[in-house]
Structure 1
Amino acid sequence: MKKLSGFSIAYLVLVFVVLYAPIFYLIFYSFNSGGMMHHFEGFTLKWYKELFDDMRLFIIVLNTIIVALLSAFIATIIGVLGAISISMFQKKKWKNGILSLNNVLIVSPDVIIGASFLILFTIIGIKLGFVSVLLSHIAFSIPIVVIMVLPKLQEMSVNLVDAALDLGASWKDVLTKVILPYISPGIYAGFFMALTYSLDDFAVTFFVTGNGFTTLSVEIYSLARRGVSLNINALSAILFLFTLLLVVGYYFINRRTSKGSNMGVNK
Structure 2
Amino acid sequence: MRGKNKWSNIYLVLVFAVLYAPIFYLMFYSFNSGGSMRDFESFTLDYYKEVFADTRLLIIVLNTFVIALLSAAISTILGVIGAIAIHHVRSNRPKQTLLTLNNVLIVSPDVIIGASFLILFTMIGIKLGFVSVLLSHIAFSVPIVVIMVLPKLQEMSTTLIDAARDLGASSWQVLARVVLPFIKPGIFAGFFMALTYSLDDFAVTFFVTGNGFSTLSVEIYSRARQGVSLSINALSTLIFLFTIILVVGYYFINQRNVKSPVKEGRG
Q: Tell me the TM-score normalised to structure 2 length.
A: 0.98
Change (3 A) 1:92 1:265: farther
CA distance in 2 between counterparts of 1:75 and 1:2 reads: 45
Counterpart of 2:158 in structure 1: which amino acid?
V
Matches of 1:3 and 1:174 in 2, distance apart? 52
State how far apart, in whole Å, the 2-side matches of 1:13 and 1:241 are.
21
Residue 96 of structure 1 corresponds to which residue in structure 2? 96
Give me the whole-angstrom Cα distance separating, in 2, the residues matched to 1:245 and 1:13: 22
The residue aligned with 1:80 is 80
Are 1:15 and 2:15 an aligned pair? Answer: yes
In the TM superposition, what is the alpha-carbon distance from 1:266 to its structure 2 partner? 4.9
C-alpha distance after superposition, 1:120-161 (max 9, x if no partner): 000000000000000000000000000000000000001101
Aligned residue number for residue 232 of structure 2: 232
Number of aligned residue pairs: 267
Paired AA for residue 136 in structure 2:
S
In structure 2, the residue matched to 1:177 is 177
Letter in 2 for 1:243: T
1:144 is paired with a residue whose SS is helix
Residues 1:264 and 1:3: Cα distance change in structure 2 (over 3 Å): farther
The answer (yes or no) to whether the contact 1:182–1:261 under 8 Å persists in 2 is no
Give 3-state SS (helix, strand or coil) of 2:36's partner.
coil
In structure 2, relative to structure 1, the CA distance for the partners of 1:86 and 1:265 (3 Å cut) is farther
CA contact (8 A) 1:64 1:216 kept: yes
Deviation of 1:104 (Å): 1.4
Following TM superposition, by how much is the alpha carbon of 1:4 offset from its aligned partner in structure 2, in angstroms?
6.3
Q: Which residue of 1 aligns with 2:142?
A: 142
SS of aligned partner of 2:42: coil
Report how far residue 5 of structure 1 moved: 1.4
Residue aligned with 2:65, SS:
helix
Flag structure 1 segments of 5+ consecutive residues without an equivalent: none
Distance 1:75 1:167, change over 3 A: same
Superposed CA deviations along residues 197-246 of structure 1, whole A, max 9, x for unmatched, are 00000000000000000000000000000000000000000000000000
What is the aligned partner in structure 2 of residue 210 from structure 1?
210
Specify whether residues 265 and 146 from structure 1 end up closer, same or farther in structure 2 by C-alpha distance, changes over 3 A only.
farther
| Structure 2 residue identity aligned to 1:23 | I
Equivalent residues of 1:27, 1:234 under 8 A apart: yes
The CA distance in 1 between the partners of 2:151 and 2:4, in whole Å, is 28
Structure 1 distance, partners of 2:133, 2:265, is 42
Instruction: Return the TM-score normalized by structure 1.
Output: 0.98
CA distance in 2, matches of 1:56, 1:264: 50
Could you tell me whether the CA contact under 8 Å between 1:33 and 1:43 is conserved in 2?
A: yes
In the TM superposition, what whole-angstrom CA distance separates every residue of 1:10-43 from its partner, at most 9, and x where no partner exists? 1010011001111000000000000001100100
Match of 2:124 in 1: 124
- d(CA) in 1 for partners of 2:263 and 2:88? 27
| Secondary structure of residue in 1 paired with 2:212 | coil
Amino acid at match of 1:203: A
Letter in 2 for 1:44: T
Deviation of 1:262 (Å)? 2.9
Q: Which runs of 4+ in 1 moved over 6 A?
A: 1-4
Give 1:154's aligned residue. Answer: 154
Offset of residue 44 of structure 1: 0.4
Q: Retained in 2: the 8 A contact 1:114–1:207?
A: yes
